[in-house]
Structure 1
Amino acid sequence: MSPDALAAFAVFAEHLNFTRAAERLRISQPALHVKIGKLARELDRPLYHRVGRRLVLTPEGEAVARFARAHDERLAQFLAEFAGAAPRRPVVLAAGQGAYLYLLGDTIRAVLAEEPTRLRLINCDHRQMLAAVRTGQAHLGVSVLDVLPEDLTVAELATFPQMLFVPEGHRLARRRSVGLRDLDGARMVVPPQHRPHRVLLEQALRAAGAGWTVAVEAEGWPLIAQFVALGVGLAVVNGCVPPPAGVAARPVRDLPPITYHLVHQPSAMSDPRITGLAQRILARA
């Protein structure tokens, strides 16, 4: 396989967009199509396919992207050692907003204080995190996972109950805990449609026979919490989220706890830099 084609495919796998990948590589889109098409023919496997308007890597494409990035990292490490310089390759961590805000902050601050170039961060949802780890774009990932991936190594970080955020003057604030039936008729602050938390909450409320309405859709726990503080509605959030002033947090009895997981390739722990960061994340969580 051509090293040039492998490097081009690694960039394409990161963007999954021919226009952006070609711009980053500073080549034309037709030239990038030729490189990736030739690579697929050499391997006799499709490397990506379309799902609607999106491009998605096949499992073979994920494996090629992972190999391409590992090849590039080994080459960079060899050249650094050959030149007598310390390797500058950062460890890449992929996680979502909640993990960065409430779980990983102390670890990131400590690592960057020791060596600012040691760590690179990717902010993404859980699907993007899994894709980043599978393709080698990220060495470690942290997220809430509904289904544990069989092809990756997974470790539990922390588990939290699901909490109802309610203004302190609300009748439910006088309870020690609440049930889903208590939310019948409530106006709720919820994530946008099709977000995993929104889907699971809707299913649970429907199963409990609790009717509710959308007060507002909000992206991210801080904004959801702020809307509750303003009196816009009630919200169900992960238990790691601190309630703002004027808001009470009550556990929801009939919702399952939320667990954050640390994810990596099975072979990743052969790198002492990745192992060190993973151990620090696990210890602080």
Structure 2
Amino acid sequence: MDERAGISADALASFVVFADHLNFTRAAGQLRISQPALHVKVRKLAQALGRPLYHRSGRRLVLTADGVAVARFARAHDERLADFLAEFAGGEPSRPVVLAAGQGAFLYLLGDAIRAVLAEEPTRLRLVNCDHRQMLATVRTGQAHLGVGVLAALPDDLSAVELATVPQVLLVPDGHRLARRRSVALRDLAGAGLVLPPEPRPHRTMLEQSLRAAGVEWTVAVEAEGWPLITHFVALGVGVAIVNGIVPAPPGLVARPVTDLPTVTYHAVHRPAALSDPRVAGLLDRLRPPAR
């Protein structure tokens, strides 16, 4: 890098770690430097570029669009250097392909593909568990090569590939009055106690808006984080729940499609240039559903 411009490889490498954590204390700990020293590195990098690289949103630090671009460039620079050194030494690239996704995708959608990749080459794949917002951020900054999740809208700056489209289903005990139906509508939930994710999770917001639009009165039976705990509460008889159709109904529960809720689509997203790496392209092929 051009030291005269005040931009060094060290500053870029430090910024990548900061971008991963968006927390000066944790990033400084990983870098084994003091928090004030990291502040200075990030501030000087921003001054050299003439652009702010992050800002505060409430209690969180958030990268600016320029910060995302710098993190992506710095990570790509490190990867190209690592690949060159491996090739120069007569070896193969050793860095893993990074896949970011949420709990539901890892539990119910991606397991077979991950198992197959790890069976071939255990060091080839690294997994990052995060929510959909963090997943998009990790792909944009280059922390992950591929991300998988349910997206409210397809991002303009990333390429997206459809992996699976499933209905939203009502989970109820097999002795419940609605278990005898082949499908249900929102109006059938009048007076029900629902097991819901906490606010402001997108699934919770969507359900509240849909139930309100349908004129359905309901109550919160309990709030639970993650499909396994939601399913567990339904099995205990605490309430009923609407979940994505990839969630299997365990013994004692049945799943019934909710006819007046939209289907849910899981997409894999990546930066447009990511598939130039054959290992990333190969992982995406593994994730795609088989051709019919």
TM range (shorter): over 0.9
User: Is 1:236 the counterpart of 2:266 in the alignment?
Assistant: no
User: Is 1:131 the counterpart of 2:125 in the alignment?
Assistant: no
**Alignment match of 2:168 (pick from 162, 166, 172):** 162
**Aligned-pair CA distance for 1:284:** 5.0
Q: What is the rounded CA distance, in whole Å, between the counterparts of 1:249 and 1:80 in structure 2?
A: 51
User: Is 1:100 the counterpart of 2:106 in the alignment?
Assistant: yes
Instruction: Describe the SS at the equivalent of 1:165.
Output: strand
Matches within 5 A, 1:187-206: 187-206=193-212
What 5-or-longer segments of structure 1 have no aligned partner? none
**Alignment match of 2:46 (pick from 34, 40, 47):** 40
Instruction: Describe the SS at the equivalent of 1:241.
Output: coil
Residue of structure 2 equivalent to 1:280: 286
Q: What is the rounded CA distance, in whole Å, between the counterparts of 2:57 and 2:209 in structure 1?
A: 26
**Alignment match of 2:75 (pick from 69, 76, 92):** 69
Residue by residue, what CA displacement relative to the aligned partner does 1:161-180 show, whole Å, maximum 9, x if unpaired?
00000111111111111111
**Alignment match of 1:140 (pick from 132, 137, 146):** 146
Residue by residue, what CA displacement relative to the aligned partner does 1:192-216 show, whole Å, maximum 9, x if unpaired?
1111101100110011111111111
Residue of structure 2 equivalent to 1:266: 272
**Alignment match of 1:183 (pick from 184, 189, 203):** 189
Is the contact between residue 226 and residue 244 of structure 1 (CA under 8 Å) also seen in structure 2? Answer: no
Q: What is the rounded CA distance, in whole Å, between the counterparts of 1:197 and 1:110 in structure 2?
A: 30
Residue by residue, what CA displacement relative to the aligned partner does 1:226-276 show, whole Å, maximum 9, x if unpaired?
111111100000011110111111110100000000000001011111011
Is the contact between residue 107 and residue 284 of structure 1 (CA under 8 Å) also seen in structure 2? Answer: no
Give 4+ residue runs of structure 1 displaced > 6 Å after superposition.
none
Residue of structure 1 equivalent to 2:21: 15
Residue of structure 2 equivalent to 1:110: 116
Residue of structure 2 equivalent to 1:247: 253
**Alignment match of 1:210 (pick from 206, 216, 237):** 216
Residue by residue, what CA displacement relative to the aligned partner does 1:36-86 show, whole Å, maximum 9, x if unpaired?
111111111110000011100001000000001101111111111122222
Letter in 1 for 2:106: Y
**Alignment match of 1:91 (pick from 88, 94, 97):** 97
Is the contact between residue 129 and residue 141 of structure 1 (CA under 8 Å) also seen in structure 2? Answer: yes
User: Is 1:30 the counterpart of 2:9 in the alignment?
Assistant: no
Letter in 1 for 2:120: E
Residue of structure 1 equivalent to 2:3: none
Q: TM-score, normalised by structure 1?
A: 0.98
Instruction: Describe the SS at the equivalent of 2:288.
Output: helix
Instruction: Describe the SS at the equivalent of 1:137.
Output: coil
Q: TM-score, normalised by structure 2?
A: 0.96
RMSD: 1.0
Letter in 1 for 2:244: N
Instruction: Describe the SS at the equivalent of 1:5.
Output: helix
Is the contact between residue 164 and residue 289 of structure 2 (CA under 8 Å) also seen in structure 1? Answer: no
Letter in 2 for 1:50: R
Residue of structure 2 equivalent to 1:225: 231
Q: What is the rounded CA distance, in whole Å, between the counterparts of 1:56 and 1:141 in structure 2?
A: 19
Letter in 2 for 1:236: I
